[in-house]
Structure 1
Amino acid sequence: MRVIPRRKKDRPRGEPPAPAPPGTGATQPIGDSRADVEADGGAPTLEPGRALDPAKELEPAKALGQDGLRGGARPEAATAVLPVADGEAARRRARAAQRHRQAAEVKRSRAGRRPQRTSPAPADATDQHRAALLVMVLTLGLLIAAVAVTGGLIASSMRTRPVTLAKPLHIYPVAQATAGPCPAGTQGLTGQAGTGPTCYHLTQGIAIRKVADLRVQKSRVGSGGYDVAVTLRPVDRSAFARLTRATVGRDLAFVVGERLVTLPRVDMAITDGKVVVTGSPDRATARQLVRDLKGR
């Protein structure tokens, strides 16, 4: 933008304006107060000694040097430099700051959802140690119990295995007993009784070659004594049951080879195959009876 000074009345239209005094700039000062105007004869001045005609007041367009714009002509060298608008840059910075805040919030939310590993307190560590020790003790106890039960089952199965006798065990009902040895041709067997040799007259009996169990046990009828328990196999139980039914109150002769081993009395019919021979005063005597029944 430029300011063109007013042309003097007596200066021709095409004559250039007079140069300004040195140091005064491109424009002449205009009076600021009413006293200055009245001192000059009631009219404002642009230059000293020259009055301003109010009727010939400058038009705003010519005073600003834009008289060419009214006629539609383009100014010769008029360029407008506009300041760069800061609104768009501010909006970009606001959007960037908002994105940064959103990213920070997402990170904080993820960190909040992530499980945090904290070291256990001393009390918790002690409780865990006690619980682990208790579990170990219980596990060890269960293992010991399992071993004991397994051992018992193995031992029981070994005891229930059939025992093969070295010689057949013959069981005869005793029909009669007479003092002294048996005469020749008599169906009997001579045994040793408390009164001396005795002849035991025998009837038809059974022969057993295997038994389910044969062992020594403490006496169930007397204190301090021992018994010999014989368990028959199922194949021999029915025959032995018939034999004991017929000889209740009588004696049965247990014979191995040609030797009378024992002579127990039948108190009642035995149908389950479990025979208990009593009368051994000590464990050694009972063990010897077991060996004799086995034929060894």
Structure 2
Amino acid sequence: MPRGADDDPESPDARRRARSRARQREAAEVKRSRAELRGGRARPDGRDQGAREHRAALVTLVLTLGILIAAVAVTGALIAGSMKERPIALASPLQIFPVSQTSPGQCPAGTQGVTGQTTTGLVCYQLTQGMSIRKVTDLRVQRGRTGGAYDVAVTLRPSDRKAFAQLTRATLGRDVAFVTGNRLITAPRVEMAITDGKVVITGTPDRASADRLVHDLKGR
């Protein structure tokens, strides 16, 4: 059967139809490519999404741990500070008197003083108006500045520091008597005014003597 003019691939109409179909295919390819690109942006790969979520969880965990560690550190410091400042109650009030004069032997009746035992025998310490302490912040033995010696450190409460500073200013170069229950515990010499409440009693020859001094200062 003979072909019509429209069936001839070389005819103008056939060439126009071929070009039209080619343009439609190109347009369809462009649409499909754009759709795939849009879909890729809207729906990222599942593994990438999981990795990002995992990293975010790790960052949150690190931040949480950092906050907890900081909170524990601050809480520990506050607890340590409160324990350090907790006052130590003395079994008997510790009275501190300026010593106005000393004389050998027992104090005569009616004398405002206290009798103490020294290496040379009994000594009467005549006393003037002093102060009384019922609690201290710290009371302990510490190593002395010279080899083999021990000191006794007493830290007064803020409420007692002003009175003690005034007492030590007035007794520079003199002795002060530490008395509990009408018993002389020690009578150190004031070498400087003590304004911060940190008292250091030196001169104990060994650790046993220092421990005994701490025990006596506590009124036990």
Name the residue aligned to 1:94.
Answer: 19
| CA drift at 1:192 | 1.0
Select the residue among 163, 168, 183 that pairs with 1:239. Answer: 163
C-alpha distance 150-222 of structure 1, shift in aligned 2 (>3 A): farther
In 2: Cα distance, 1:194 partner to 1:222 partner: 22
C-alpha distance 92-257 of structure 1, shift in aligned 2 (>3 A): farther
C-alpha distance 267-185 of structure 1, shift in aligned 2 (>3 A): same
The structure number with the bigger radius of gyration is 1
Per-residue CA shift, 1:214-259, capped at 9, x if unaligned? Answer: 233322x322322222222232222212211221111111111122
Find out whether 1:230 has 2:167 as its counterpart: no
In 2: Cα distance, 1:174 partner to 1:206 partner: 13
What secondary structure is seen at the aligned counterpart in 1 of 2:83?
helix
Name the residue aligned to 2:130.
Answer: 205
Find out whether 1:173 has 2:94 as its counterpart: no
RMSD: 3.5
Name the residue aligned to 1:290.
Answer: 214
Name the residue aligned to 1:249.
Answer: 173
What secondary structure is seen at the aligned counterpart in 2 of 1:276?
strand
Select the residue among 276, 282, 294 that pairs with 2:200. Answer: 276
What secondary structure is seen at the aligned counterpart in 2 of 1:212?
strand
| Paired-residue identity, % | 59
C-alpha distance 228-96 of structure 1, shift in aligned 2 (>3 A): farther
In 1: Cα distance, 2:5 partner to 2:93 partner: 129
Task: In structure 2, give the amino acid aligned to 1:205.
Answer: G
C-alpha distance 241-107 of structure 1, shift in aligned 2 (>3 A): same
| CA drift at 1:89 | 5.9
C-alpha distance 102-253 of structure 1, shift in aligned 2 (>3 A): same
Per-residue CA shift, 1:56-75, capped at 9, x if unaligned? Answer: xxxxxxxxxxxxxxxxxxxx
Name the residue aligned to 2:51.
Answer: none
In 1: Cα distance, 2:27 partner to 2:212 partner: 99
Aligned positions of 1:1-296 closer than 5 A: 83=4, 85=6, 91-108=16-33, 114=40, 143=69, 151-219=76-144, 221-296=145-220
In 2: Cα distance, 1:230 partner to 1:172 partner: 16
In 2: Cα distance, 1:289 partner to 1:157 partner: 26
Task: In structure 2, give the amino acid aligned to 1:85.
Answer: D
In 1: Cα distance, 2:20 partner to 2:121 partner: 130
In 2: Cα distance, 1:158 partner to 1:217 partner: 19
What secondary structure is seen at the aligned counterpart in 2 of 1:181?
coil
Give ranges in structure 1 of 5+ residues lacking alignment: 1-81, 120-131
What secondary structure is seen at the aligned counterpart in 1 of 2:6?
coil
Per-residue CA shift, 1:83-130, capped at 9, x if unaligned? Answer: 46355565444333323223324544666785897x9xxxxxxxxxxx
Structure showing the higher helix proportion among its residues: 2
Task: In structure 2, give the amino acid aligned to 1:185.
Answer: G
In 2: Cα distance, 1:174 partner to 1:210 partner: 23
| CA drift at 1:275 | 1.1
Give ranges in structure 2 of 5+ residues lacking alignment: 48-57
| CA drift at 1:267 | 0.5
Structure showing the higher strand proportion among its residues: 2
What secondary structure is seen at the aligned counterpart in 1 of 2:200?
strand
Give the TM-score taking structure 2 as reference length: 0.71
| CA drift at 1:283 | 3.9
In 1: Cα distance, 2:148 partner to 2:76 partner: 29
C-alpha distance 293-148 of structure 1, shift in aligned 2 (>3 A): farther
Task: In structure 1, give the amino acid aligned to 2:180.
Answer: V
Task: In structure 1, give the amino acid aligned to 2:146.
Answer: G
